[in-house]
Each structure stands twice: as C-alpha cells, then as structure tokens.
Amino acid sequence: GAVVSQHPSRVICKSGTSVKIECRSLDFQATTMFWYRQFPKQSLMLMATSNEGSKATYEQGVEKDKFLINHASLTLSTLTVTSAHPEDSSFYICSAARGYTGELFFGEGSRLTVL
C-alpha cells in the first residue's frame, strides 16, 4: 500500500516553544492531507484539511494561529504547534488521500509532550 511518513515520532518541548511536525507521502502525490489529534483511547479528531498550494481549512474550534499548517508541495505538509502549552500535549496524526481512489493513508503519528 501507499506510504505516508511522519516525523518526528516523539517530541518533548518546553512550554512556550514551537514544534514542527512533517508529513510526507512517499510514493504518491497528495493534493489533500489531513491532520488529526487523538487523545488516549479516543477517536481521531479532524483538525484541518490541507490542500497543496492553498490555505488549510480548519475545523470549528481549532485555532488557526496556534496550529499552523503548510502544504507547500504535493508530497509534504507540515503542522507547527506555536507557543505550545501542556494542554497541547497529544498524539497528532497526519493522513493523505490518494487522488484517484480517495483512499486515506496514515502517518505513524507524533506524540507531543509539552512540559
């Protein structure tokens, strides 16, 4: 199947710093990528839809200025958590839709811990 790579898998940072998470589709071009947040034993909460070359579409309740999303190429989308606080600690997962099928493929996820 298609491969989506996410990096870093784990990151620990101090409160107030910014953290960037990368999501790459390795063997297909992804015009659309999605970012999810997952709390322990809970579902995947869609944060935003990232479209190549345009601004991301954020879900209601997700702060655009805190969670900056950039989709500069057909194979790379980044999520930057700005001025991170302990409540931002979570598991963040990206996914990419393969255009001709609409199938969704997930990255490995990034566990963010803000001290």
Instruction: Tell me which residues touch another protein (CB under 8 A).
Output: 1, 32, 34, 36, 41-46, 49, 59-60, 93, 95, 97, 99, 101-109
Reported residue count of the chain is: 115
Residue whose C-alpha is closest to residue 102's, from 18, 15, 2, 8? 2
To the nearest whole angstrom, how small is the minimum distance from the Cβ of residue 37 to another protein?
11
Burial of 1-37, coded b for 16+ CB within 10 Å and e otherwise, reads eeebebeeeebebeeeeebebbbbbeebebbbbbbbb
To the nearest whole angstrom, how small is the minimum distance from the Cβ of residue 86 to another protein?
21
Give whichever of 35 and 75 is closer to another protein, judged by the CB atom: 35
Give whichever of 14 and 40 is closer to another protein, judged by the CB atom: 40
To the nearest whole angstrom, how small is the minimum distance from the Cβ of residue 88 to another protein?
20
Residue whose C-alpha is closest to residue 77's, from 4, 1, 2, 3? 4
Measure the CA–CA gap between 112 and 92, rounded to whole angstroms.
Answer: 7
To the nearest whole angstrom, how small is the minimum distance from the Cβ of residue 16 to another protein?
28
Give whichever of 54 and 101 is closer to another protein, judged by the CB atom: 101
Give whichever of 39 and 83 is closer to another protein, judged by the CB atom: 39
